[in-house]
Amino acid sequence: MNEDQGKWLAGVQRALNKPGAGGLGFYTVGDADIVVYDRAKQQKIDEIMDSSNRDFCQAVEAADAHIGKLDFPQNVHSTAA
């Protein structure tokens, strides 16, 4: 990582650490964006998933928890360890 990349990344981290960001949730499906949702509606999201067999992203929409998205210049890979 070069110095400019390090500074940019540190700035993003500072923004995420600010008060107010704690109520935000994030997910990606591997596109070039990260969806931002309201974590205060997590219980409703879980209930929708349990009762209707919907995927997480569909439950976020159904719970009216979608806030917006962050667009990246490349795909954000969705992986599991």
Residues 13-60 pLDDT 10s:
998 888 888 899 999 988 899 999 999 999 999 999 999 989 999 999
Q: pLDDT value at position 52?
A: 93
- For residue 65, tell me if it sits in a domain: yes
Total count of domains within the chain: 1
Integer Cα distance of 37 and 76 in angstroms: 17
Containing structural domain, residue 63: 20-81
- For residue 73, tell me if it sits in a domain: yes
- For residue 52, tell me if it sits in a domain: yes
Partner residues linked to 71 by β-bridges: 33
76 token code pair = 């954000």
Whole-prediction pTM = 0.83
- For residue 79, tell me if it sits in a domain: yes
- For residue 3, tell me if it sits in a domain: no
- For residue 36, tell me if it sits in a domain: yes
- For residue 8, tell me if it sits in a domain: no
- For residue 12, tell me if it sits in a domain: no
